[in-house]
């Protein structure tokens, strides 16, 4: 297994819903501390790795969010079932029947999002999406007391319970490629910059899925000349999708954002990325559906403004239990971002 995939697997399996990103930060720290001139964690949990280069080179901030979509327990029913809310955007139609991994004070807890069996549903109920308010997590407890003994409590958080798997042919399946794919790119690019003249700050940010929170305070501290958010973005090259809604494709190369709901990619950043891709024969594609937002949405509005953009690894089924990625896209994203740092630093 290649080193990029090994790292992606570790990051994908890590437990890290928004607000509980420590395990992901720890993996990045182990990977990068030895390559950094300085490593630190701020008050919100953002982790920073500094490569202090030479004077005269621009300061670049690369940001990948460490958090993943997840769940938070809000109430325990008399008969031990857990009511919950979501952390980040998860639609009700993909939750039913999913395996969930919670982490309480006593360690990990396994469960499933349960509901009425189809046998006792009316036809109308069978075809209806059940709102999350009506769903619950079953951890195998028959009372509040037993649920609490297992470590369940209000405020306990969870994620989809999915293991990283090699599907063959360069395809891999796992949870939270949004944004552990970006974290893997961040790590590989930063590692390759050791002893280089570039002033690079790699940031693992927190709470992106709750509204781009960590990157906001991180960018203020770094005060960069240029910012680039590294992401795992949605792919729609699947059956029954109108051609104009196919935002990006698997094996189409890194996805360059022109516009999303939080930012325009700055023309200098955009032109640099396009030129590097074309001149270096690195395949790339544009994000064609301007939905979603990234850390760039916060970085570009920092202080007097920071020219910023987003480059993402295309991933199928993000914001669901498990996503699919292709190794070529991961490698080409690493290549494009590495060349971007080198080129834009000299401006
Ligand atoms: Zn993301």
CB 189 within 8 A of CB 28: no
Gap between the Cα atoms of 246 and 240, Å rounded: 10
Q: What is the pTM of this model?
A: 0.96
CATH number of the structural domain spanning residue 334: 3.40.630.10
Gap between the Cα atoms of 337 and 185, Å rounded: 8
pLDDT of residue 284: 96
Six token digits for residue 33: 């501390």
Expressed in angstroms and rounded, the spacing between residue 215 Cα and the centre of ligand 1 is: 12
Residue 165: inside a domain, yes or no?
Answer: no
Please indicate, yes or no, whether residues 225 and 339 belong to a single structural domain of this protein: yes
Please indicate, yes or no, whether residues 197 and 134 belong to a single structural domain of this protein: no
Q: Cα angle vertex 179, ends 43, 333, to 5°?
A: 120
Expressed in angstroms and rounded, the spacing between residue 178 Cα and the centre of ligand 1 is: 4
CATH number of the structural domain spanning residue 124: 2.40.30.40
What are residue 180's phi and psi, to 5 degrees? -70, -25
pLDDT of residue 64: 98
Last residue in a domain, options 160, 190, 213: 160
DSSP character string of 32-99 = HGGG-SEEEE-TTS-EEEEE---TTSPEEEEEEE--B-EEEEEEE-TTSPEEEEEES---GGGTTT-E
Catalytic residue at 208? Answer: yes
pLDDT of residue 241: 86
Expressed in angstroms and rounded, the spacing between residue 127 Cα and the centre of ligand 1 is: 30
Closest alpha carbon to 207 in 195, 219, 216: 216
Q: Which of 21, 68, 208, 231 is catalytic?
A: 208
Please indicate, yes or no, whether residues 34 and 75 belong to a single structural domain of this protein: no
> In this structure, how many other beta carbons lie within 10 angstroms of the beta carbon of residue 89?
11
Through-space distance between the first and last CA atoms of the chain, rounded to whole angstroms:
37
Expressed in angstroms and rounded, the spacing between residue 39 Cα and the centre of ligand 1 is: 23
Gap between the Cα atoms of 319 and 321, Å rounded: 7
Number of domains in the chain: 2
Helix H or strand E segment including 328: helix 327-345
Please indicate, yes or no, whether residues 241 and 298 belong to a single structural domain of this protein: yes
pLDDT of residue 236: 83
**3-state DSSP assignment of residue 307:** coil
Gap between the Cα atoms of 338 and 193, Å rounded: 8
Expressed in angstroms and rounded, the spacing between residue 65 Cα and the centre of ligand 1 is: 7
Please indicate, yes or no, whether residues 220 and 129 belong to a single structural domain of this protein: no
pLDDT of residue 116: 80
pLDDT in tens, the chain (347 residues): 899 999 999 999 999 999 999 999 999 999 999 999 999 999 999 999 999 999 999 999 999 999 999 999 999 999 999 999 999 999 988 999 999 999 998 999 999 999 888 788 888 888 888 899 999 999 999 999 999 999 999 999 999 999 999 999 999 999 999 999 999 999 999 999 999 999 999 999 999 999 999 999 999 999 999 999 999 998 888 888 888 887 889 999 999 999 999 999 999 999 999 999 999 999 999 998 889 899 999 999 999 999 999 999 999 999 999 999 999 999 999 999 999 999 999 87
Please indicate, yes or no, whether residues 89 and 196 belong to a single structural domain of this protein: no
Please indicate, yes or no, whether residues 9 and 99 belong to a single structural domain of this protein: no
Gap between the Cα atoms of 105 and 153, Å rounded: 9
Gap between the Cα atoms of 202 and 178, Å rounded: 17
Please indicate, yes or no, whether residues 61 and 76 belong to a single structural domain of this protein: no
Domain hosting residue 92, numbered range: 70-160
pLDDT of residue 322: 95
pLDDT of residue 237: 83
In which residue are the tokens 């998860």 written? 90
In which residue are the tokens 């280069």 written? 53
Please indicate, yes or no, whether residues 46 and 181 belong to a single structural domain of this protein: yes
Gap between the Cα atoms of 266 and 280, Å rounded: 21
Expressed in angstroms and rounded, the spacing between residue 195 Cα and the centre of ligand 1 is: 30
Expressed in angstroms and rounded, the spacing between residue 306 Cα and the centre of ligand 1 is: 20
What are residue 270's phi and psi, to 5 degrees? -60, -50
As to burial, measured by CB atoms within 10 angstroms (0-12 exposed, 13-18 middle, 19+ buried), residue 273 is buried
Please indicate, yes or no, whether residues 187 and 248 belong to a single structural domain of this protein: yes
Expressed in angstroms and rounded, the spacing between residue 209 Cα and the centre of ligand 1 is: 7
Please indicate, yes or no, whether residues 43 and 190 belong to a single structural domain of this protein: yes
């Amino acid at each position: 297994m290649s080193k990029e995939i090994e790292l992606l697997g570790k990051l994908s399996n890590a437990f890290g819903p928004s607000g509980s990103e420590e395990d992901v930060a720890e993996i990045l720290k182990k990977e990068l501390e030895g390559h950094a001139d300085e490593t630190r964690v701020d008050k919100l949990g953002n982790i920073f790795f500094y490569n202090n280069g030479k004077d005269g080179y621009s300061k670049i901030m690369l940001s990948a969010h460490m958090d993943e979509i997840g769940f938070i327990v809000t109430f325990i029913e008399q008969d031990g079932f857990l009511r919950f809310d979501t952390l980040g955007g998860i639609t009700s139609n993909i939750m039913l029947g999913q395996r969930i991994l919670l982490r309480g004070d006593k360690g990990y807890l396994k469960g499933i999002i349960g509901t009425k069996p189809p046998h006792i549903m009316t036809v109308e109920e069978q075809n209806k999406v059940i709102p999350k308010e009506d769903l619950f997590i079953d951890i195998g407890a028959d009372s509040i007391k037993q649920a609490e003994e297992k470590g369940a409590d209000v405020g306990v958080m969870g994620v989809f319970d999915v293991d990283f798997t090699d599907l063959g042919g360069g395809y891999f399946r796992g949870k939270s490629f949004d944004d552990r794919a970006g974290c893997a790119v961040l790590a590989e690019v930063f590692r390759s910059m050791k002893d280089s003249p570039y002033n690079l700050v790699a940031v693992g940010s927190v709470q992106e899925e709750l509204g781009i929170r960590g990157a906001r305070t991180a960018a203020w501290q770094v005060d960069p000349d240029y910012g680039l958010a590294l992401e795992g973005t949605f792919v729609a090259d699947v059956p029954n999708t109108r051609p104009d809604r196919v935002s990006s494709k698997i094996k189409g190369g890194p996805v360059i954002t022109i516009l999303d709901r939080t930012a325009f990619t700055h023309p200098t950043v955009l032109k640099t990325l396009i030129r590097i891709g074309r001149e270096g024969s690195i395949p790339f594609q544009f994000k064609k559906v301007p939905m979603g937002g990234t850390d760039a949405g916060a970085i570009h509005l920092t202080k007097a403004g920071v020219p910023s953009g987003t480059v993402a690894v295309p991933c199928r089924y993000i914001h669901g239990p498990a996503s699919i990625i292709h190794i070529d896209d991961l490698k080409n994203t690493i290549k494009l971002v590495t060349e971007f740092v080198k080129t834009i630093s000299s401006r």
